Amino acid sequence: MTDYGMVIDLERCIGCNACAVSCSQENNVSLDKQWNRILTEGGDAMDTPEGSYPENGRDGTLSMNHLPLACQHCDNAPCVKVCPVNATYKRDDGIVEIDYDKCMGCRYCMSACPYNARVFNFDDPKTLPTDGTGNVEERKQGVVEKCTFCSHRVKEDLDPACTVACPADARIFGDLDDEESTASRYIEKYETEQLLDELETDPNTYYIRGEMSPGRTRSGNELEGTEKKAAGNPNGVATDGGDGQ
Amino acid sequence: MSSAPDAGVVVPRFGTRGKAWLALLGVLIVAGLGAWAYQLQQGLVVTGMDNIFSWGLYIMLFVLFIGLSAGGLIISSAPKFFHSKRYDSLAALGVLLSLGCIVVAGLLILPDLGSPSRVTGFLTSPDPRSPMVWDFGIVLLYGLFNVGYLWLLTRRDLAKMGSRLALGVADTPAGRERDRKRAFWAAAVAMPLAVGLHSVTGWIFATQIGRGDWFNPLVAPMFIMKALVSGLALLLVTSILVDRFTRFRFPRELVPELGKLLGIFVAVHVVYLVAAERLPHAWAAHFEFWSITSAFLVGDTIHFWLWTVIGGVLPIALLAVPSLRRRIKAVFVASVAAIVGILFEGVYLIFTGYHDVNIDAAPGVTTGTGYTGLEADIWATTGSYTPTIVELLIAVGLIAVGALIVTLGLRFVPIQPDDRTPVSAGRDDSTATTAGPVATDGGRRPDGGADGEVTGDA
């Protein structure tokens, strides 16, 4: 079996938002929402630290970290259990996905998700350019949407857009059922946490804190363990699922 | 003035006032439909909801109307289950009221949906794990049960007056006797059904780990209790109004009796259950005696105070004093206050779930509304909500549908038991009667003086 999951090394993350931007770009996400948010653990505003600046030769206490947050693809996903019409479901490969043709927009899943990972199309999506971006069809007004681990890319043996885009190699996507995958080995070796683990949702997303891992050790678009793809997009970031070349 | 064919129907025909009332309801319904059409076209962006505060007025009122639908059915079925005729005069009106409320509750879900045309998914691909599926099932069952039960209670009278609604049933003494037995069995089904309805609606919230105080085993018992409070209060309000404006006669001696019962319900709900819920948290979180006490007694939001003062202190004060609760006006005010309080309990419940975000680091969550351009601030770290005019219009329109159902029921269904004398409409409070087949309040005379006079004019 396959059980896709992600490891995010918070010691590597530099808070650059490249993953968030590439996510919105690849998945055609409306400008008034984000599937992938980069939160600042620190001060009250984005990219501000907490604590005090070192003055007059004293020690400062400034500290700031970044926490990338998207759908955690939980094993015991509350959103899946509450969906009255089976529009959101856990796939056999571990990805929590939404059938946009079934979703009736009751937003019970948004109440259920403790991570606030889901967004609703209160009106028509707004993108620049207006006919959309990336490789995913636009979602209509009145349905809930969220991160899919770029299931359309995974189907093509490509890593999710955020993972490829990360300049700090802080994201590692892989099969948690395969003990030899980088993701599984890092979860084994490094100190990891699942967010809000006291709620027993058992996410497929793990965060490394403490000792820094070597990060994503490959270059390129392709999923770990799959054949090397032909050269990617000449502009550097593949946004077409590898179809175009 | 009443002829035999009308007997039991409390509004034999709509007069000027009746027609004006129907016209008002019609205007409200049309306004609500117009607002819904606008919302369908624009999207839920015209509501006050956003990605954090993702349920608003529709769900708050859904919870309220689920609760309101309890009273009538319980008051009509509980005595029947114990073979008592005590509240027979309210039985049919109560079930009619339950029916109207459950229809409003069910309809309130539709405007809350982003894609209402897909509501058929409840039937074509339901997930049996979802509390909302359980609720869909039990709301449907409860609504159908109310229709059947109302028909069972009134079909012999419908037959007697020659109504087609009797569906061919004949009015025979043996048939009435059989229906009495069937009503017992229907009552035996009604009570667990009502308990199920309110518990399941509570579990929609109580199963959710992600929304603060929702995840609380007390929510379902609270829902049962608030259903008893608001349901009985609505039955009292409606009975008093229908008594005033139609031929329906609300036996005067029931006012203090049901008022006392309402007072007990309010006390159990707002005093006992709230204390039971808050004390352990307050005790565990504080050290000094007085800080435990104040954390226990002092609420944190305006909704909490609106609920416990208007819906708790005020009705208890009015209903605890025997001389006050014999006054129809006092019971009426207490009942309205209790309903307003329960409305704000629902508001309070939704706010406790949505105000705080579990992971609230900056910049927070994208709201998904209020986008004006690339410079717009689309982020929020706490939930906030104010209903919009569109939401209010739609909600009022749906409530008008419920009022229309009750009004048409008064016109076409004989809700007044047949063996009593109709009383003319528009009487003053003080001319209520004490005659009737119903047990009295320990034989006490209400208010005294002329109030006890029988004023039936048939």
Best B118, B367, B379 residue to mutate vs chain A (most A CBs within 10 Å)? B118
Residue B76: predicted pLDDT: 83
Pairing of strands A65-69, A88-90: unpaired
| A115 to B133: CB separation less than 8 angstroms, yes or no | no
B201-259: pLDDT as tens digits: 999 999 999 998 999 999 999 999 999 999 999 999 999 999 999 999 899 999 999 99
DSSP-H helix ranges across B267-356: 274-285, 289-297, 302-305, 314-320, 322-325, 328-354
What is the C-alpha to C-alpha distance for residues B432 and B426, in angstroms, rounded to an integer?
A: 11
CB < 8 Å to A44, chain B: 362
Residue B457: predicted pLDDT: 32
Of B401, B390, B406, the closest CA to residue B28 belongs to B401
B457: Cβ–Cβ under 8 A, 6 or more apart, which residues? B1, B423, B424
Residue B433: predicted pLDDT: 39
Angle (CA) B430-B456-B429 rounded to 5° is: 15
Residue B98: predicted pLDDT: 96
| B210 to A45: CB separation less than 8 angstroms, yes or no | no
Q: Which domains does chain A have, with CATH numbers?
A: 4-42+65-208 (3.30.70.20)
B78-103: pLDDT as tens digits: 888 888 888 888 999 999 999 999 99
| B127 to A43: CB separation less than 8 angstroms, yes or no | no
B420-454: pLDDT as tens digits: 444 433 344 443 333 333 433 333 333 333 333 33
Residue A92: predicted pLDDT: 97
Q: Determine the average pLDDT of the residues in A212-227.
A: 90
In this complex, the residue of A39, A123, A140 whose CB is nearest that of residue B42 is A123
Nearest CA in chain A to B366: A33
Question: What is the percentage of chain A residues whose pLDDT exceeds 90?
Answer: 83
B319: Cβ–Cβ under 8 A, 6 or more apart, which residues? B259, B260, B262, B263, B266, B325, B330, B331, B334
Provide the β-strand partners of residue A172. Answer: A7
ipTM of the complex: 0.91
Omega before A129 within 30 of 0, i.e. cis: yes
Residue A230: predicted pLDDT: 62
Q: Which amino acid is at A21?
A: V
Read off the DSSP letter of residue A32: T
Contact yes or no for A208/A191 (Cβ under 8 A):
yes
In this complex, the residue of B122, B362, B370 whose CB is nearest that of residue A84 is B122
Q: Which amino acid is at B444?
A: R
Best A38, A120, A130 residue to mutate vs chain B (most B CBs within 10 Å)? A120
DSSP string, B428-448: -GGG----SSSPPSTTPPSS-
Q: Which domains does chain B have, with CATH numbers?
A: 9-370+387-419 (1.20.1630.10)
| A86 to B119: CB separation less than 8 angstroms, yes or no | no
Best B127, B352, B356, B378 residue to mutate vs chain A (most A CBs within 10 Å)? B127
Residue B72: predicted pLDDT: 81
| A67 to B121: CB separation less than 8 angstroms, yes or no | no
What is the C-alpha to C-alpha distance for residues A36 and A89, in angstroms, rounded to an integer?
A: 20
Read off the DSSP letter of residue A163: H
Helices B131-160 and B57-81: crossing angle, nearest 10°? 50
Please tell me the number of Cα atoms within 13 Å of A12 on its side-chain side.
Answer: 19
Best A34, A89, A106 residue to mutate vs chain B (most B CBs within 10 Å)? A106
The residue ranges of chain B whose pLDDT is under 50 are 1-3, 420-458
Residue A119 has pLDDT above 90, yes or no: yes
In this complex, the residue of B54, B210, B362 whose CB is nearest that of residue A40 is B362
Contact yes or no for B114/B43 (Cβ under 8 A):
yes
From residue A85, give the alpha-carbon distance in Å to each of B124, B128, B137.
Answer: 8, 9, 13
CA dihedral sign of residues B38, B339, B326, B419: positive
| A78 to B125: CB separation less than 8 angstroms, yes or no | no
**A190: closest CA of chain B, how far (Å):** 23
CA dihedral sign of residues B239, B244, B247, B250: positive
What is the C-alpha to C-alpha distance for residues B153 and B156, in angstroms, rounded to an integer?
A: 8
Q: How far is CA B146 from the centre of its chain?
A: 14
Read off the DSSP letter of residue A42: S
Residue B314: predicted pLDDT: 96
Nearest CA in chain B to A123: B43
Residue A237: predicted pLDDT: 53
In this complex, the residue of A69, A78, A126 whose CB is nearest that of residue B210 is A78
Q: Counting beta carbons within 10 angstroms of the beta carbon of residue B163, is it exposed (0 to 12), middle (13 to 18) or buried (19 or more)?
A: middle
Omega before B126 within 30 of 0, i.e. cis: no
Residue B104: predicted pLDDT: 98
What is the C-alpha to C-alpha distance for residues B132 and B125, in angstroms, rounded to an integer?
A: 13
Provide the β-strand partners of residue A40. Answer: A66, B362
What is the C-alpha to C-alpha distance for residues A235 and A23, in angstroms, rounded to an integer?
A: 17
Q: Which amino acid is at B169?
A: V
What is the C-alpha to C-alpha distance for residues B161 and B6, in angstroms, rounded to an integer?
A: 6
Residue whose pair of structure tokens reads 């819904």 in the numeric block: B36
- Burial letters for A217-236: b for 16+ Cβ neighbours within 10 Å, e otherwise? eeeebbbbeeeebeebeeee
Residue A238: predicted pLDDT: 53
Least confident of A120-129, A170-179, B22-31, B68-77: B68-77
A68-106: pLDDT as tens digits: 999 999 999 999 999 999 999 999 999 999 999 999 999
| A122 to B50: CB separation less than 8 angstroms, yes or no | yes
Residue B75: predicted pLDDT: 81
Nearest CA in chain A to B52: A116
